[in-house]
Structure 1
């Protein structure tokens, strides 16, 4: 049964907070969103991301449930982007994986792993093995640079910063009341009490660590380069035993390049060593990066739970906490959105079972004041 008109306080205006604010406001609910930062989302992991939608490629380092969430997102993102007033770059041209000859053994191991994962999640498109001619046809700019590759059809990407900005515009258009530079915690609210929201949705990522002590930060480092001499047509990954990288081409020869994962919540600038490795690997994929211009070298920490899997939990009636998206934020956010909406509408979620998502709900999932409205 659809959720009756309610009021929501959303804590954290990163990717999940903005998606929830827009969808709930579109359904006719009153929404207030609170964030410690500004509309630029400078404190959000979503700002420093390649925003790749690559469930099969990511299956090498995550569980089948997350892979299914990523497959779900490939169909959902176009639906979520279509109503936005501002354009957002979205591409679904697949993923290319390449390697140098000395890394063939590592590439063969990865290929076997991806093929096994396709049997586990059969709805995924099958990978295609490319020889040098097939590689040249799929990505002409890499012709004669690599002898072999893998093509993962159907995978995609979007522009993370365009999306975050478009969601702010949409929140304004839909009447969401945004409270910037206004950090809040669930303890500030009493859901269901007079003058209080019916629901509090905590999407603060690492900002929720005082409430969710198991959270930890996993540091990532990303470089944004403008390289007019490089014309990659789709996200490309380089197999390497020490520093595998991804290169995500955005619009106007802008490339987002990343690789590193460090078990740390350190937000200091990138080290010289990791920067050299990142740029050297990018140059090894395409020497045109040598003449590119470094626009930004950014670091950020992704909110991660002990099992590296996302979770939704309810600590008290009327309070839902959505967290632990790790490195898969854009790939799984639509699935997390849809599960959250199911919980709000029905008190449970069938989708969460399909995604093997940890869903820990308190016995009373509906605030006392809104129970009658939902009956």
Structure 2
């Protein structure tokens, strides 16, 4: 019998866990090296709203991300179905709100979405809602808004449930995870005697020694318990300075965020950011006034110079996957499928389809 292929994955964040699980599914013997502990505190994926909103994100990103995100909406239910524990997944669309004084900004935002839909006609059409239609769509929404945009088909999932279920799925498939075990591609010679057949670098900012264009972009996120708020889908509030998002999870837990700061400072959430996020949430629904703050978190997202993801070949059997920025959950299924296509066929049509940078170091 042929000896099974062996793979080493560097990093046990979102991309590392997804790739380790997928490789084990096709029969690879997989070993994961993670520089930090099992709690995932060093992973940007742990501090995320995990919204799957390609059209909404098109207002601030490029078409490759939109196309990868649209692909991910189809793939996520398939990926979750293969995991041993349930993961909250919802595809109720995205609601976009604005206050009357921000109508001009809302019009600009809608124009960006319409332009995206012209270039990506496969995306569902944006719907304009009046006050009555908004009430029908979101019965729990207070009557503070007279109009809104609805982006059907968009979704979200629970990031921490997913990370935990991936880890358990990896264990069931025999993946070996070495916690507190930093490693780099330079430590391996894939294909050589006594070495793994493949090496995959998914370390995020931990890969900067090998990929100097990486930088960190700070994000700040609040988790609230708000039993008096009943929202059925992720909601975005347009604001000229900080476009806030509110992602409702199970059991009246809400993830609220907006901030993007060009720094890798991981100190505690600032007073200014906290005030802005909570004030904006309160203007959406007064029930947030009695919410309880469960957590205030910061993390630095790994970002390349153009804010787009990329895959680099370090050799015939060594790949680096990085630069997921704020779109990790949105685009990771597409990146996974590109990598798996390359591993199995040594070519990738998907990278061309997504206009994804697939380059040599």
Q: 2:92·2:233 contact (CA, 8 Å) conserved in 1? A: yes
Instruction: Please give the TM-score of this superposition, normalised by the length of structure 1.
Output: 0.94
Deviation at residue 361 of structure 1 after TM alignment: 4.0
1:311 corresponds in structure 2 to 310
1:140 corresponds in structure 2 to 139
Alpha-carbon RMSD:
1.2
SS in 1 for 2:326: helix
1:40 aligns with 2:39: yes
1:101 corresponds in structure 2 to 100
2:271 corresponds in structure 1 to 272
1:115 aligns with 2:114: yes
2:193 corresponds in structure 1 to 194
Instruction: Please give the TM-score of this superposition, normalised by the length of structure 2.
Output: 0.98
**Which deviates more, 34-43 or 321-330?**
34-43
Deviation at residue 4 of structure 1 after TM alignment: 8.8
The structure 1 segments of at least 4 consecutive aligned residues displaced by more than 4 Å after TM superposition are none
Deviation at residue 195 of structure 1 after TM alignment: 1.3
Question: CA offsets per residue over residues 153-174 of structure 1, 9 Å max, x none?
Answer: 0000000000000001001100
Distance 1:348 1:290 in 2: 53
2:205 corresponds in structure 1 to 206
SS in 1 for 2:140: helix
Q: 2:37·2:180 contact (CA, 8 Å) conserved in 1? A: yes
Structure 2: tracts of 5 or more residues without a match? none
Q: 2:50·2:157 contact (CA, 8 Å) conserved in 1? A: yes
Distance 2:86 2:37 in 1: 21
Distance 1:30 1:4 in 2: 10
Distance 1:278 1:131 in 2: 26
**Which deviates more, 328-337 or 180-189?**
180-189
2:345 corresponds in structure 1 to 346
Deviation at residue 5 of structure 1 after TM alignment: 3.5
Distance 1:39 1:94 in 2: 33
Question: CA offsets per residue over residues 224-275 of structure 1, 9 Å max, x none?
Answer: 0000000000000000001210000000000000000001111111111111
Distance 2:156 2:92 in 1: 9
Q: 1:314·1:361 contact (CA, 8 Å) conserved in 2? A: yes
Distance 1:64 1:303 in 2: 19
Q: 1:88·1:162 contact (CA, 8 Å) conserved in 2? A: yes
1:53 corresponds in structure 2 to 52
Q: 1:132·1:143 contact (CA, 8 Å) conserved in 2? A: no
Distance 1:22 1:285 in 2: 39
SS in 1 for 2:327: helix
Structure 1: tracts of 5 or more residues without a match? 363-375
1:240 corresponds in structure 2 to 239
2:357 corresponds in structure 1 to 358
Q: 2:142·2:285 contact (CA, 8 Å) conserved in 1? A: no
